[in-house]
Amino acid sequence: MYKSAVYDEPLLNELVSAKKEIKSISDILPSSLQRKKKINIPNLDETQIIRHFHRLSQMNYGIDSGFYPLGSCTMKYNPKICEEIASWDNFANTHPYMDPSLVQGNLEIMFELERMLCEITGMDFFSLQPAAGAQGEFLGMLLTRAYHNSRNDNNRNEVIIPDTSHGTNPASAAMAGFKLTEIPSTKDGTVDLDILQKTISEKTASFMLTNPNTLGIFESEIIDIQKIVHDAGALLYYDGANMNANLGEARPGDMGFDIVHLNLHKTFATPHGGGGPGSGPVGVKTKLEKFLPVPRIGKNKDGTYILDYDAPESIGKIKGFYGNFSVLLKSYIYIIIMGKNGLKETSEIAVLNSNYMKEKIIKSGKYELPYKNLRKHEFVLSCDKLKKEKDIRAMDVAKRLLDHGLHPPTIYFPLIVKEALMIEPTESESKKDLDKYIDVLIKIADEDPNIVKNAPTNTPVKRIDEVNATKNPILNWKMI
Amino acid sequence: MKFIPNSAIKNEMLKEIGLNNINDLFSDIPKNLKFKDLDLPNGLSQQDTEQKLRQIASKNKSYHQILSFVGGGIKPHYIPSAVKSIISRSEFYTSYTPYQSEASQGFLQAMFEYQSMIAEITGMDISNASLYDGVTALGEAALMCARINKKKYFIIPSNISWEKKSVLKNYTKGAGIEIKEISYDAKTGKIDIEDLIKSINENTSGVYIENPNYFGVFEDEIDKICKIIKDAGSIFVAGVDPISLGVIKSPDEYGADIVIGEGRALGINIDFGGISLGIFACKKEYLRNMPGRVIGLTKDLDGKRAFCMTLQTREQHIRRARATSNICTNEGLCSLAASVYLSWLGSNGLKDIAKINLEKGQKLAKKISNVKGLKLKFNSLHFNEIVIECSKDPKTINKKLLSKNIQGGLALEDNYPDLKNCVLFGITEIYTDSDIDKLVTALKEVA
C-alpha cells in the first residue's frame, strides 16, 4: 500500500544558512535605479536545497505513485520515453526566433501533429498555440465571434451550456464577452432537445458541449443537437476533456462540431506537472480556418517548413510564440507509439475499465448511479444514500481513500449529482488495481462513520482547515 | 501494448459484467457516426520511435550548436542541474493540480515558497501560483484593473512586443476595454512622459510600464511616471525581468500596484518559446480580484501547519461565468523550477547574476557599436538587450552571419516601422567574452 513519507519540513526561509546577505551595488546604475530593498531569500547550500525538495516530493502523490482516478482529468500513465526525448538538447534548447532553417525538426513535428489531430478528431485545421484546455476554449470563443462578425451577424452575444458542463466553459465564454445561459439536462442526464430548441435564438453564438458528457454519458442525439444549433445559425463547440472515450470510435468532426479543443495533457499522455504546463490545441472546420492564430505552420513545395504570418483575417495571438512545444512533442511521440490500433484500444479499455468498476460498485448497493447506465470512460456515483444513512459525505469518502493509500476521484462535480464521486480509471490501470479500488470503496461504506469522518490520519497532515485558509489568508512567508 | 495492462484480459472482464463484445460498450454511438479506421500508421516500438526522433532532432540546432545573440524577451540562461533533478522527480511531475491537499503537501509547500520568493523579489504583498506566460499575464492584469475600478480604458507604451499587444487585444475585447498606446522617445527609447500626461485621465483603469522595456532600456524616471499614474487615480502595472530585480529597484520601491513578468529565465528551458511562467504579483487589497490559483498556509485538525489551495471562490470551478479568470491548468511545474532556481541562487546569487547580465549587456553594446556601420539606436542605460541600427538591411546581415554559424539579432522593422534597419540583440550570463568576440569579428566582415 502506498504510504506517504511524513516530514515536518521547514520552509526554505526557516532553514539555517551560515551565509549573510551581501550588499551588491553596481556602479553602472544611478541611485534612482538601484534596489535598496532587502531580498529575504536564504543563501543555502545545494545539499540543503536538494534534501528540502526531495523530502517535499516524498509528500506528493503522482500517477507514478499509484491509481489516480480523477474524473474528467484523464490521469493516465505518462510514458518515460516522451520525457527523455523532450529533454534532448536539440529540442529543449531551440530558440523561437532562430532562423526557420535551424528549427526544421520542430516545425516538422508541429506540422505532422496538426495533421494527426485532424485525423483523430475529424476536423480540417488545427492551431497548437493554446497553453491549456481553458485557453483553447477561450480561443474557440474568439473564433466564434470572428466568424459571426465576418458574416455581419453581430448580435450573437449568448452562449448556451448544459448544466453538466465544466466550469471553464462558462468562464471562458464570459471572458470572451458572451452572456451565458445554462440549460437543465433530461432525466437521462443528457441534453434536453426541447429546451435547447426553446432556448436557442438568433442571439445564440455557440452551444458548448462535452461528448461524452461529464456524467460519462454519450450524447446519442448529437446529430439532432447539431441540426438545432446550425439551423439557428450558431456554432457547435466541443470540449475535448473527455476525448479519451472516443479515439478511433467516434469523431467530433463527424458529429457536426465546428470547433474542438483537446487537452494533450489528458488524452495524449503528457504529465500534468502538478497543474501544468498543459496544451489545448484547437481544431476547426474549413469555414473557420482563416481566423486561426498566427503563425500557422506551413510547408513549402520543396518540403521545408515555415512559420506563416500571412493571415489578414486571423484573430492574432493568444499566447507568446507557438504553443507549449515540449508538451506538443511528447504527444506527437505518444501518438506514433500508439498508432491507429493502439489509440483505438486506448479508448476501448478506458471505457471497459470504467464500466467494469461501475458495475461492480453498483452491485454492492453501497453507492447509487443516477441517470443512464451505460457509461463511457468515466462515471459519477452518488453518496447521497450514505449521507442520509450514516452522515458520510463524498468528502469523507475521498479523505478515507487517502488512508487506504489511494487517490480519491473528483468530488462534488458535476453539480447535478448529489454528493458526487466522479471516477475515471483510464486504460492505464490493471484489473488487480481496479478490484482493489472497488473493494476499498465498498469497505469504506461499511466502516465506522467516525473513522471515515475523521479521515485521513495516514497522511503527512490530517484533514485541513480550508475555511481558515480563506478567512485568514497567509500566502507567503512574509505574511506569517 | 505496453501502456494498457488489461488489453490481454478484456474478454474476461467483459464477461464479468455480462457483456460479450467490446462493441457493446459503444452501442450508444449512432451507427452512422461509428468510425471505421484512423488513417494513421501502425504504432512504432519505443526503440524505433527513438531512432525516428533522433533523425528529426538532427534537423534542429540548439543554442549550444550555434552562437545565438537573438533578443526579444527570450534568452537562454544557465539552468542548474539541481533544478532539472528536482523537476524530474515523478512524484512532482506526474501529479495533478493539488485538489486533495493531504496527498499533495509537497507540491503545495513548494508553491507557497514560490509565491513567497516572487513576493520577495518584486516587493509585492502577494503572488499567485503562476499564469501561462508573461504575455497572457498582461491580458489578465488589464482585466483585473477593470474589475477593480470599473474603468474601461487601459494604457500601454507603443514599444512593447507586438505579440503582447495582440494578446492584450484578444484578452480585453470581451470586457469592452479600450487600449490606448502612448509613444516612446525616438532618442532615448523610453516612454514619452508628455504623451502619458496627455493620454491619462480619470477614466484610465490602469497603465502598463515595462522596466527594462522591450528595447532593453531602463525607465529611469519611473518615480515620476508612477506619480502621474497615481494622481490620475489609475492602477500601475509594472512589467519586469525577474533576473534584473537582483540589482534594479523593486516595483514596490517605485510604487507599482501589480507586477507581471515572464519567468522563463528562472530555471526553465527555452523550449522553442513553449512552456513558460507568467509571474503575477500585487498588493494585498487586490487579493480577491486576482486571477489564478493561490496556495495558502493553514492548519490541520491537530493544529499542525498545512498547505492548501485557497480563495477558490474566485475560480472557474466554483464561480463559473463570474470567475476572475478561466484559468485552470496553469504552469505548476515551471513555478516549481523557479522555486528551486531562486533558492539555489539565494539572494546573493540573484544579485550576482543580475549584475553579470547588466555588465555583459554594456560590454556587448560597447563592442558592437565599435563596428563600422553599426550604432546604438538609443542613448539610454540598458539591461541585457540592446537595439542596434545597421547601415544595411539586417536580414541580409543575418543571412551572412548564419553562414558563419551565428544567429544574429531580431530584426524589428516588420513590427516597428520607425525602426528601419534595427535589430535587437540579447546576452546573458552564459555568453563568454570569446563568444562576444566571435560575434564582433563576424559582424566586422558582414555588417
Q: What share of chain A is helix, strand, coil (3-state, %, to 5)?
A: 40, 10, 50
Enumerate the residues of chain B whose CB falls inside 8 A of the CB of residue A56: 105-107, 109-110
B362 and B328 within one domain: no
Residue B237: which H helix or E strand, with range? strand B235-240
Query: pLDDT value at position A291?
Result: 98
A475 found inside a domain: no
Q: Do B298 and B358 have their domain in common?
A: no
User: What is residue B1's predicted lDDT score, i.e. its pLDDT?
Assistant: 58
Residues A319, A352 within the same domain: no
Q: B235 vs chain A: nearest CA distance in angstroms?
A: 21
Residues B301, B376, single domain; the answer is: no
Contact assignment for B328 to A254 by CB distance below 8 Å: no
Could you tell me if B169 and B236 lie in one domain?
yes
pLDDT in tens, chain A (480 residues): 999 999 999 999 999 888 888 887 778 999 999 999 999 999 999 999 999 999 999 999 999 999 999 999 999 999 999 999 999 999 999 999 999 999 999 999 999 999 999 999 999 999 999 999 999 999 999 999 999 999 999 999 999 999 999 999 999 999 999 999 999 999 999 999 999 999 999 999 999 999 999 999 999 999 999 999 999 999 999 999 999 999 999 999 999 999 999 999 999 999 999 999 999 999 999 999 999 999 999 999 999 999 999 999 999 999 999 999 999 999 999 999 999 999 999 999 999 999 999 999 999 999 999 998 999 999 999 999 999 999 999 999 999 999 999 999 999 999 999 999 999 999 999 999 999 999 999 999 999 999 999 999 999 999 999 999 999 999 999 999
Residue keyed to cell 513548494: B110
Q: Which of A22, A168, A170 sits opposite B348 (nearest CB)?
A: A22
Q: Residue A233: which region, alpha, beta or left (left: phi > 0; alpha: psi -120 to 50)?
A: left
* Contact flag A325-B340 (C-beta cutoff 8 Å): no
- In a shared domain, residues B188 and B242: yes
Question: Cβ of A476 and B10 within 8 Å?
Answer: no
Chain B hits for A62, CB-CB cut-off 8 Å, are: 90-95
Which of A62, A428, A466 comes nearest B298 by C-beta? A466
Residues A320, B134: C-beta atoms closer than 8 Å: yes
Q: Are A95 and B272 in contact (CB under 8 A)?
A: yes
A-interface mutation test, from B48, B95, B266, B344, most A Cβ less than 10 A away: B95
Residue B355 within a domain: yes
A454 near B CB under 8 A: yes
At residue A261, the 3 state secondary structure works out as strand
- pLDDT for A58 equals 98
Kindly state whether residues A395 and A447 are assigned to the same domain: yes
Strand partners, A380: A422
Let me know whether B36 and B169 are in one domain.
Answer: no
The chain B residue lying nearest A62, using CA atoms, is B95
State the Cα–Cα distance between residues B356 and B296, nearest whole angstrom: 35
Lookup: cell for B282: 500585487
> Whole-angstrom Cα distance, residue A261 to residue A281?
6
In a domain, B403, yes or no: yes
Q: Looking at the structure, do residues A186 and A292 belong to the same domain, yes or no?
A: yes
- Same domain membership, residue A243 and residue A202: yes
Is B62 inside any structural domain? no
Q: Within this chain, do residues B143 and B244 fall inside the same structural domain, yes or no?
A: yes
| Interface residue A229 vs chain B (CB under 8 A) | no
Q: Which of B221, B252, B216, B257 is nearest to B236 (CA)?
A: B257
Query: Nearest CA of chain B to the CA of A446: how many Å?
Result: 23
| Distance separating alpha carbons of residues B282 and B286, to the nearest angstrom | 7
For residues A291 and A146, membership in a common domain is answered with yes
Output the domain CATH number for residue B389: 3.90.1150.10
Q: In angstroms, what separates the C-alpha of B81 from chain A's closest C-alpha?
A: 10
Distance of alpha carbon A130 from alpha carbon A318, whole angstroms: 7
Q: Examine the predicted complex and report whether its ipTM is higher than 0.85.
A: yes
Q: What is the CATH number of the domain that holds B275?
A: 3.40.640.10
| Inter-chain CB proximity B333 and A276 less than 8 Å | yes
Decide if B429 is inside a domain: yes
Res A16: pLDDT: 86
Mutate to test the interface with A, among B31, B45, B105 (most CBs of A within 10 A): B105
Q: Are residues A210 and A155 in the same domain?
A: yes
Q: Give the one of B38, B113, B271 whose C-beta lies nearest to A92's C-beta.
A: B271
Flag whether A478 is in a domain: no
Q: pTM of this prediction? A: 0.98
Domain contains B61: no
For residue A327, being part of any structural domain is answered with yes
The verdict on B188 and B289 lying in the same domain is yes
**Any residues with CB less than 8 A from the CB of A108 and at least 6 apart, and which?**
A305, B56, B59
Residue A4 placed within a domain: no
What's the CATH number where A283 sits?
Answer: 3.40.640.10
Nearest-angstrom CA–CA distance, B171 and A142: 9
Could you give the angle at which helices A104-121 and B46-57 cross, rounded to 10 degrees?
A: 130
Domain count across chain B? 3
The verdict on B146 and B190 lying in the same domain is yes
Torsion sign across C-alpha atoms A409, A411, A415, A418: positive
pLDDT of amino acid B58: 98
Q: A62 at the B interface (CB within 8 A)?
A: yes
Residues B103 and B210 in one domain: yes
pLDDT score, position B5: 97
Q: How many alpha carbons lie under 13 Å from residue A80 in its C-beta half-sphere? A: 6
One domain, residues A130 and A183: yes
In a shared domain, residues B10 and B107:
no
Q: Which domain holds residue B32?
A: 5-56
Q: Is A283 found in the same domain as A188?
A: yes
Chain A environment of B275 (Cβ under 8 Å): 277, 324-327
Q: Same structural domain for residues B172 and B147? A: yes
A2 Cβ under 8 Å from any chain B Cβ: no
- Number of domains chain A contains: 3
Query: Before A456, cis peptide (omega within 30)?
Result: yes
Quick one: A92 and A26 in the same domain?
A: no
Same domain? For A134 and A258 the reply is: yes
Three-class SS of A268-328: CCCCCCCCCCCCCCEEECHHHHHHCCCCEEEECCCCCEEEECCCCCCCCCCCCCCCCHHHH
A-chain residue closest to B322, CA distance: A171
On whether any CB of chain B is under 8 Å from the CB of A3, the answer is no
Q: What values do phi and psi take at B179, rounded to 5?
A: -100, 130
Q: Which of A32, A53, A352 sits opposite B25 (nearest CB)?
A: A352
Inter-residue contact A91 to A85 (CB < 8 Å): yes
* Domain ranges, residue A24: 12-57
In tens digits, what is the pLDDT along chain B, a chain of 447 residues?
589 999 999 999 999 999 999 999 999 999 999 988 999 999 999 999 999 999 999 999 999 999 999 989 899 999 999 999 999 999 999 999 999 999 999 999 999 999 999 999 999 999 999 999 999 999 999 999 999 999 999 999 999 999 999 999 999 999 999 999 999 999 999 999 999 999 999 999 999 999 999 999 999 999 999 999 999 999 999 999 999 999 999 999 999 999 999 999 999 999 999 999 999 999 999 999 999 999 999 999 999 999 999 999 888 888 899 999 999 999 999 999 999 999 999 999 999 999 999 999 999 999 999 999 999 999 999 999 999 999 999 999 999 999 999 999 999 999 999 999 999 999 999 999 999 999 999 999 998
CB contact under 8 A, A62 and B95: yes
Cβ–Cβ gap B10/A477 under 8 Å: no
CATH of the domain at A427: 3.90.1150.10
Q: A435 and A388 in one domain?
A: yes
Q: How far is A291 from chain B (nearest CA, A)?
A: 12
Contact B296, B307 (CB under 8 A): yes
A415 and A275 within one domain: no
For residue B417, give every residue at least 6 positions away whose Cβ sits within 8 Å of its Cβ, in sequence order, or none. none
